[in-house]
Chain A
Amino acid sequence: TAGITQAPTSQILAAGRSMTLRCTQDMRHNAMYWYRQDLGLGLRLIHYSNTAGTTGKGEVPDGYSVSRANTDDFPLTLASAVPSQTSVYFCASSDTGGPVYNEQFFGPGTRLTVL
């Protein structure tokens, strides 16, 4: 199985432009997450979704929006990109209903540069 896929792998974006980062999982996990990773700061949660149809704000949600229309997909949208959003973005998922319900599995990441 593929697990979690993210697209694109990398992107250079002009400031002010919009962009959607895609994330798809095939594990039927009910929870999905978006993180950004910056040097020295580890992973910071942007938005999350505990189940299809619901979303929540993480630690650094400003400038980002998400939707969860179905179980498998969790796109992250930057409506008007700014240089401070230059980062590596990771999508993750977890099964919150079983014995290993806390364990998050990560995608390969999207490297975004905003100029």
Chain B
Amino acid sequence: GQQLNQSPQSMFIQEGEDVSMNCTSSSIFNTWLWYKQEPGEGPVLLIALYKAGELTSNGRLTAQFGITRKDSFLNISASIPSDVGIYFCAGKNYGQNFVFGPGTRLSVLP
């Protein structure tokens, strides 16, 4: 079946630094979603992308739908301690269900 890869698997950054992570697929998708999950809770939707090349922001978060339609990127600017969590990407093509990546675990050091 389809698989998504997320990079990096985990990252430790200093508070105030910018963060970049990406998600790649072996298949073309028409929708990309980015979620954040905190310990003991369900994933919370951050950003949805529906068009190749699309760049969408949500506060300090910016995500892009790759032009090849096989990748997506999430950037977090000026990280703060509450950004800690696991970030998941999810991709979908027409008539199919979402496929989720394994996640990028973000730790923010004060």
Contacts and interface: CB of A to CB of B under 8 A. Distances in A.
Interface of A: 4, 33, 35, 40-45, 48, 58-59, 90, 92, 100, 102-109
24 contacts: A4-B42, A33-B97, A41-B102, A42-B4, A42-B88, A43-B88, A43-B90, A43-B100, A45-B97, A58-B97, A100-B48, A102-B31, A102-B33, A102-B50, A103-B33, A103-B48, A104-B98, A106-B42, A106-B44, A107-B42, A108-B41, A108-B42, A109-B40, A109-B41
Interface residues of B, number: 22
B42 to A, nearest CB: 4
Given A40-B102, A45-B98, A109 B48 contact: no
Nearest to A107: B42
Interface of B: 1, 4, 31, 33, 35, 40-45, 48, 50, 88, 90, 92, 97-98, 100-103
Contact of A90 (B43, B48, B103): B43
Contacts, number: 50
A100 B41 CA distance: 23
B26 to A, nearest CB: 15
Nearest to B43: A106
A40 B88 CA distance: 11
B102 A48 contact: no
A92 B92 CA distance: 15
A109 B97 contact: no
Contacts of B92: 102
Contacts of A90: 42-43
Given A43-B88, A58-B97, A90-B42, A104 B102 contact: no
